[in-house]
Amino acid sequence: MTPLVLERSLSQADFDLFARVSGDNNPIHVDAAFSARTTFGRTVSHGMLLYTVFWGLLRRAHPKARQASQNLMFPNPAYADEALRFTATPSGPLAYAIEVRRVADNAVVCAGDTQLLEG
């Protein structure tokens, strides 16, 4: 069972667009001045934006699939314009262990699992 892997960077424009689409305008994601005063020091990705990238990756492998469940943790921040590696490792029928790591330091920024249903 071969993992699905994608390397991608998300930009501040991606964060801003996701905020508009989702309605999640938390300043930690979209306000550089606010974020600079936090422990993160700059804006961080929405967790569900990271999962949205996974959803696209999974849909390429399973075009008719529907989401059944997901469990996600976000142990470290993902920042704008940094390379991320998205890995979805099959763990059962239409089930995947998922993980996003920052390429620069290999830190996990998203980990969990998802179960799909065939459409």
Q: Profile the chain (119 residues) by mean pLDDT over runs of 10 residues.
A: 94 97 96 96 96 94 94 97 97 96 98 94
Beta strand extents in the chain (DSSP E only): 4-9, 66-73, 83-92, 95-102, 108-117
| Structural domain boundaries, residue 111 | 4-11+45-117
Q: In total, how many domains does the chain have?
A: 1
Instruction: Report yes or no on 33 lying in a domain.
Output: no
Residue 28: its pLDDT value, please?
Answer: 96
Q: Record the pTM.
A: 0.93
CATH of residue 67:
3.10.129.10
Task: State the residue for tokens 């996003």.
Answer: 100
Please compute, for residue 57, the number of CA atoms within 13 A of its CA located in the half-sphere on the CB side. 23
Residue 93: its pLDDT value, please?
Answer: 92
Instruction: Report yes or no on 29 lying in a domain.
Output: no
Residue 1: its pLDDT value, please?
Answer: 76
Instruction: Report yes or no on 76 lying in a domain.
Output: yes
